[in-house]
């Protein structure tokens, strides 16, 4: 892949800080936030979108394609536009998010289709092959870049905290972000840079997620859910799924870290999002706030007051500094 210049780099070293106000509110101790909402489009997806855009440009493609429910589409559309690529983004026609106009502003062609997200991923994989588009969807032949991109979050946390945290809480939908961060910590461990890896706390929606469902059933292989048994809402949409494309990697990461997976309700997501905004002045996507809700519940359940890092994504591009 061509070298990324200084001008092309997405925001590295996203903010990392001890959330003193939130600690007091939740009666926790050693609570740190890694705020991915400070990236260009307010999401950790920027870390992988730039890699896909550069690979597409290097490979001679003029169009990059994707199936999405929002954040990833906004990120891909931004970087496609930045690097002179066309983008074709498929979304479920019932998608209720606010980022479609952002995609259109970035010049994306939007395909609104009567499919569930997982069905759209399959559709776009076939369509991309037929049209000679670069497929950046999860589970595509290019998805090796996803783990690589998210490993950098682990490296940044080590640099900013100075050591590996005891617990790390991350939301899971497809499981890619969690698997990538843990892969980074494992590489640091095997290289001797840290003496232990963090225990993972995987949060997702009680409306349906294969990773949490499989862990709770003590399965070592992630199982798809019955599509008729999941419930998509405007709050849970980024997390709800009947198939997680990197679910097996995420499930293995949870087991290897001696971690925990837990469900969070829509009302809890919204509540914790509001608490975070009130105490730390951060605008956080409710689905992302599930990681804070899960960290709070798990740490209290364990009766533990040790150190925990929570990875949060922004509601939009803007965020309020402390």
Query: Which residue stretches of the chain are H helix?
Result: 20-26, 46-58, 71-82, 100-105, 117-131, 144-161, 176-190, 210-216, 247-256, 266-280, 286-302
Residue 1 is predicted with a pLDDT of: 54
Predicted confidence pLDDT, tens digits, the chain (322 residues)? 555 554 455 445 899 999 999 999 999 989 999 999 999 888 899 999 999 999 999 999 999 999 998 889 999 999 999 999 999 999 988 776 678 889 999 999 999 999 888 999 999 999 999 999 999 999 999 999 999 999 999 999 999 999 999 999 999 999 999 999 999 999 999 999 999 999 999 999 999 999 999 999 999 999 999 998 888 888 998 899 999 999 999 999 999 999 999 999 999 999 999 999 999 999 999 999 999 999 999 999 999 878 999 999 986 543 333 3
Q: Are 180 and 153 in contact (CB under 8 A)?
A: yes
Domain ranges within the chain, ordered by starting residue: 6-44+146-312, 46-135
> What CA–CA distances, in Å, run from 136 to 2, 10, 177, 192?
17, 18, 15, 33
Q: Which fold has domain 46-135?
A: Rossmann fold (3.40.50)
**Phi, psi of 135, deg, nearest 5:** -90, 115
Q: How far apart are CA 164 and CA 42, in angstroms?
A: 25
Tokens found for residue 122: 């399959």
Provide the token pair at 65. 């394609």
Which pair of structure tokens corresponds to residue 113?
Answer: 């289709």
Write the CA distances from 140 to 89, 122, 125, 226, integer angstroms. 15, 9, 7, 22
pLDDT digits (tens, 9 = 90+) for 195-240: 999 999 999 999 999 999 999 999 999 999 999 888 888 899 889 9
β-sheet with 109-113: strand ranges across: 109-113, 86-92, 63-67, 134-135
Q: Is 6-44+146-312's fold the same as 46-135's?
A: yes
pLDDT at residue 305, rounded to an integer: 77
pTM: 0.92
Which CATH fold topology does 6-44+146-312 show?
Rossmann fold (3.40.50)
């Amino acid at each position: 892949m061509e070298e990324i210049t200084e001008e092309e780099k997405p925001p590295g070293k996203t903010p990392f800080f001890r959330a003193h106000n939130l600690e007091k509110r939740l009666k926790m101790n050693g609570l740190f936030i890694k705020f991915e909402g400070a990236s260009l489009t307010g999401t950790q997806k920027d870390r992988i979108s730039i890699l896909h855009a550069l690979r597409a440009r290097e490979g001679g493609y003029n169009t990059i394609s994707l199936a999405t429910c929002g954040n990833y589409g906004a990120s891909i559309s931004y970087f496609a536009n930045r690097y002179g690529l066309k983008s074709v983004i498929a979304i479920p026609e019932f998608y209720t998010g606010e980022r479609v106009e952002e995609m259109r502003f970035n010049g994306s062609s939007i395909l609104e289709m009567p499919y569930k997200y997982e069905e759209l991923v399959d559709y776009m994989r076939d369509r991309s092959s037929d049209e000679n588009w670069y497929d950046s969807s999860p589970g595509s032949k290019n998805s090796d870049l996803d783990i690589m991109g998210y490993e950098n979050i682990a490296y940044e946390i080590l640099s900013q905290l100075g050591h590996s945290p005891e617990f790390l809480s991350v939301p899971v939908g497809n499981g890619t972000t969690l698997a990538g961060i843990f892969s980074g910590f494992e590489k640091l461990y095997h290289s001797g840079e840290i003496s232990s890896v963090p225990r993972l706390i995987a949060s997702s929606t009680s409306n349906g997620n294969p990773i949490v469902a499989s862990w709770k059933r003590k399965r070592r292989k992630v199982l798809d859910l019955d599509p008729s048994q999941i419930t998509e809402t405007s709050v849970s949409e980024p997390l709800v799924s009947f198939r997680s494309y990197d679910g097996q990697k995420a499930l293995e990461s949870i087991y290897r870290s001696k971690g925990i997976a837990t469900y969070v309700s829509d009302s809890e997501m919204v509540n914790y999002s509001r608490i975070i905004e009130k105490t730390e002045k951060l605008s956080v996507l409710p689905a992302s706030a599930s990681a804070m809700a899960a960290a709070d519940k798990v740490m209290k359940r364990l009766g533990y007051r040790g150190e925990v890092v929570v990875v949060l994504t922004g509601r939009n591009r803007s965020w309020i500094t402390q």
